[in-house]
Amino acid sequence: MKPELRKALRLYLVTDPVLHFGHGVSAACEEALEAGVRFVQLRDKNASTRSLFNSALQLRDLCARHSSYFVVNDRIDVAMAVRADGVHLGQSDMPADIARSVMGPEAIIGVSVRTVAEAEKALVDGADYIAANLVFATRTKKDVSKPLGLDMVKRLSQASSLPLIAIGGINPANTALVMNAGCAGVAVVTAIMDADSPASQVEKFLKFLDR
């Protein structure tokens, strides 16, 4: 993995179509990017294909202006249509090895995992990073009922050589906990997107991550 990509993964912003403190998704993302975020995932599971395509185009251009990576959640077709840097896949989405064969060797492919077996398979399938899916309880992840907890995060980090990203209930106060458990970075939704000042929150995260 390129050093610049690994560094970008340490603070990984995930969008939400509702949680943006009235700023709007693009405005919240722009403020976060200006403050130092270098990896953005567009996530909107309820959007129509056309709506998601339009949002992806807008965010792709925004990320490009800030020399940042941009991936689309779930939708390989939309990611390829807008020439995103890659895609993030769940366990019910297209298998990572098939995504790799379709998107090519340069695409960034991330996979959400909750078990050691899933972490090991993601490596074999050619993923670039894995995400520990729901570390702490959060209102933004309704498809997963039980948080993994830090012990399981540590097991996942030891199960694969891929960078592990923590997602679910991550805030500046618990960032050190997940990093100490073996994570290479944190994926954040609410703590940045729904903040009155996304830039201020990014600065708080980076203060912990830059130590």
The pLDDT confidence band at residue 32, using thresholds 50, 70 and 90, is very high
Q: Does residue 206 form part of some domain?
A: no
- CB 112 within 8 Å of CB 133: yes
Domain range enclosing 78? 3-197
Please give the model's pTM, rounded to 2 decimal places. Answer: 0.94
The CATH number linked to 176 is 3.20.20.70
**Position 27 in a domain:** yes
Alpha-carbon distances, residue 207 vs 131, 138, 170, 204 (angstroms): 22, 23, 15, 5
Nearest to 133 by CA among 183, 59, 84: 183
Query: pLDDT (tens digit, 9 = 90+) per residue, 162-172?
Result: 999 999 999 99
Any domain includes 17: yes
Q: What is the pLDDT of residues 154-164, one digit of tens each?
A: 999 999 999 99
Query: Is 165 inside any structural domain?
Result: yes
Question: Is 211 a member of any domain?
Answer: no
pLDDT single digits (tens) 39-93: 999 999 999 999 999 999 999 999 999 999 999 999 999 999 999 999 999 999 9
- Total domain count, the chain: 1
Q: Does residue 208 belong to any structural domain of this protein?
A: no
> Would residue 77 count as lying in a domain?
yes
CB 148 within 8 A of CB 135: yes
With cut-offs at 50, 70 and 90, classify the pLDDT of residue 210: confident
